[in-house]
């Protein structure tokens, strides 16, 4: 049988500890999904709310499912959905062969076979459901059902302190059924967007991999009026609700790029609170190259074009950061965490310059490979219990911040006393996720850098300095 009594107790304890810590609603629900799925040893978990007509599911949080799948997830028929809304526990043994599901091909692609869904009840009224998914065909036990019911009760108990149920009711009441789009929860999209080109689709896959929620062309901003009529509008390609960021992706000709820059400048003037980034051909190709894809990944690299930071400069900076950490964390229980494997040079030197006792641990995460259904996963988890500890996340370089955003969100569920970021290099110009950095060594330009642990196609890590690659193309 998957799971055991003590394992469920630990999971419930972790959920309670997460509830008692300060988290946003999104972080709390995501953490509960992760803990629940791992406790029952299943593929994933979701927390959903029905709209006021009970015909659409509104996804509040999910774990272990690709965003691509969640945006195209077929719904059970209205009668089956009504069973959950009426308060019944629903278990389906073989989803691909169940006629209530409309798209067995999509389900087979994701690999989901069985599910167990439990209603979330608030004052005898069903306000949502928590569902676990399994890639293996399995009948869920009474113990597993009771565990999930208990998790649902904890969600509702926590929601009373956060006014979750009132918030849900307010959102559902104020907006049309089946079309809820708020910073809190995202409407389920029942079909894949009609992307203009393959680059937009590739970028969506990258966002899905890092579990970053996105909407495709959700808003249009008026830019110019004549005689009271709107003459020009601008519709950014993507909106990332969690990051409150619009992204315009372009790999077009320079003339079109100039036009888009003009529109974005105008948008910023008219809507100063709107955060928007233009990702052009150079930035887009560099982003793909980071993960071994795109035209720049196959460059004929001939060596180092320029030494950006010498060995002596690096050591002076690392020593300076080590001294500052020693002062800031004197008398505290400090744990350094690094993601394998680019940071190993920086981590090793930093430890030697810190004069207070510290512990170290390492994590491994999967890498983006362009697969439509892939999602980032923890390949090596922490060995240390970080609950009650002051944690410093040590990074070699931070550019988009997508990897770090995922890892920090994960670590917060483990209830550290504090969680701060230390990075040797900061490529601020490429940032998508605006993450606060406590300790920064150097800010670097938008170039591909290697050395001191950083690689290109798994080479150059052993260089004692940090340099810019020399290639036959200028995009780096």
Three-state secondary-structure class, residue 250: coil
My answer on whether 328 and 440 are in the same domain is yes
Comparing CA positions, the residue from 291, 270, 275, 254 lying closest to residue 221 is: 270
My answer on whether 333 and 461 are in the same domain is yes
| Domain stops at, among 279, 297, 315 | 279
My answer on whether 366 and 410 are in the same domain is yes
pLDDT at 443: 93
Three-state secondary-structure class, residue 291: coil
The total of structural domains in the chain comes to 3
Model pLDDT for residues 133-159, shown as the tens digit of each residue: 888 888 999 999 999 999 998 888 877
My answer on whether 313 and 453 are in the same domain is yes
How much is the average pLDDT of 205-221? 80
CA distance 243 to 259: 26
CA distance 104 to 120: 27
pLDDT at 347: 95
My answer on whether 392 and 453 are in the same domain is yes
Residue 291: inside a domain? no
How much is the average pLDDT of 100-122? 73
- Residue 345 pLDDT > 90, yes or no? yes
Residue 298: inside a domain? no
* Domain harbouring 119, CATH code: 3.30.450.40
My answer on whether 428 and 381 are in the same domain is yes
45 contacts 64 by C-beta, under 8 angstroms? yes
Residue 292: inside a domain? no
Please state, as a whole number, how many other Cβ atoms lie within 10 Å of the Cβ of residue 138: 19
- Residue 271 pLDDT > 70, yes or no? yes
| Domain stops at, among 159, 187, 215 | 187
46 contacts 69 by C-beta, under 8 angstroms? no
Three-state secondary-structure class, residue 348: helix
Residue 284: inside a domain? no
CA distance 86 to 121: 10
Residue 288: inside a domain? no
My answer on whether 330 and 216 are in the same domain is no
CA distance 349 to 464: 12
| Maximum separation of any 2 CA atoms in the chain, in Å | 71
pLDDT at 390: 95
304 contacts 464 by C-beta, under 8 angstroms? no
My answer on whether 228 and 162 are in the same domain is no
My answer on whether 173 and 40 are in the same domain is yes
* Domain harbouring 237, CATH code: 3.40.960.10
| Domain stops at, among 127, 158, 187 | 187
* Domain harbouring 331, CATH code: 3.40.50.2020
Residue 81: inside a domain? yes
Which of these ranges, 162-166, 186-190, 235-239, has the smallest mean pLDDT?
Answer: 186-190
pLDDT at 252: 59
Q: State the average pLDDT for the chain.
A: 78
pLDDT at 185: 30
How much is the average pLDDT of 238-257? 77
Give catalytic residues, as residue numbers: 399
My answer on whether 128 and 148 are in the same domain is yes
Residue 177: inside a domain? yes
Higher-confidence residue of 165 and 233: namely 233
Residue 329: inside a domain? yes
Domain that holds residue 211: 198-279
Query: What are the residues whose beta carbons fall under 8 Å from the beta carbon of 354, sequence distance 6 or more?
Result: 322, 325, 326, 334
My answer on whether 176 and 202 are in the same domain is no
My answer on whether 171 and 210 are in the same domain is no
Q: What is the model's pTM?
A: 0.59
């Amino acid at each position: 049988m998957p799971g055991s009594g003590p394992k469920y107790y630990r999971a419930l304890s972790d959920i309670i500890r997460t509830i008692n810590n300060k988290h946003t609603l999104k972080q709390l629900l995501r953490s509960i999904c992760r803990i629940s799925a791992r406790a029952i040893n299943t593929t994933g978990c979701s927390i959903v709310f029905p709209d006021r007509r009970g015909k659409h599911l509104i996804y509040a949080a999910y774990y272990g499912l690709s965003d691509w799948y969640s945006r195209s997830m077929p719904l059970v028929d209205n009668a089956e959905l009504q069973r959950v809304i009426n308060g019944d526990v629903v278990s389906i043994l073989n989803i691909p062969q169940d006629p209530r599901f409309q798209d067995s091909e999509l389900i087979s692609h994701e690999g989901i076979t069985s599910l167990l869904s439990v209603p979330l009840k608030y004052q005898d009224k069903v306000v949502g459901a928590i569902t676990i998914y399994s890639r293996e065909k399995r009948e869920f036990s009474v113990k597993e059902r009771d565990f999930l019911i208990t998790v649902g009760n904890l969600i509702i108990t926590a929601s009373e302190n956060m006014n979750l149920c009132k918030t849900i009711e307010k959102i559902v009441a104020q907006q049309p059924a089946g079309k809820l789009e708020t910073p809190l929860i995202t409407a389920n999209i029942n079909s894949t967007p009609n992307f203009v080109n393959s680059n937009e689709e590739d970028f969506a896959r990258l966002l899905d991999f890092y579990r970053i929620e996105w909407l495709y062309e959700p808003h249009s901003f008026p830019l110019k009026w004549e005689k009271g009529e709107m003459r020009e509008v601008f519709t950014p390609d993507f909106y990332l609700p969690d990051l409150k960021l619009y992204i315009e992706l372009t790999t077009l000709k320079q003339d079109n790029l100039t036009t888009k820059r003009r529109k974005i400048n105008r948008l910023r003037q008219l809507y100063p609170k709107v955060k928007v980034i233009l990702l052009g051909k150079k930035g887009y190709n560099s982003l793909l190259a980071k993960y071994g894809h795109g035209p720049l990944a196959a460059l004929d690299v001939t060596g180092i074009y320029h030494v950006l930071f010498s060995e002596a400069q690096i050591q002076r900076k690392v020593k300076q950061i080590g001294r500052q950490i020693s002062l800031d964390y004197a008398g505290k229980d400090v744990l350094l965490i690094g993601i394998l494997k680019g940071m190993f040079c920086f981590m090793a030197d930093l430890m030697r310059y810190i004069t207070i006792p510290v512990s170290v641990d390492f994590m491994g995460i999967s890498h983006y490979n362009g697969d439509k259904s892939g999602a980032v996963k923890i390949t090596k988890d922490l060995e240390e219990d970080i609950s009650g500890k002051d944690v410093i996340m040590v990074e070699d370089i931070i550019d988009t911040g997508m990897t770090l955003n995922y890892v920090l969100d994960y670590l917060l569920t483990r209830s550290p006393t504090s969680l701060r970021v230390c990075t040797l290099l900061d490529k601020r110009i490429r940032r998508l996720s605006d993450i606060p950095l406590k300790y920064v060594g150097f800010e670097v330009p938008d170039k591909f850098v290697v050395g001191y642990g950083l690689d290109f196609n798994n080479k150059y890590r052993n260089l004692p300095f940090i340099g810019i690659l020399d290639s036959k193309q200028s995009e780096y």
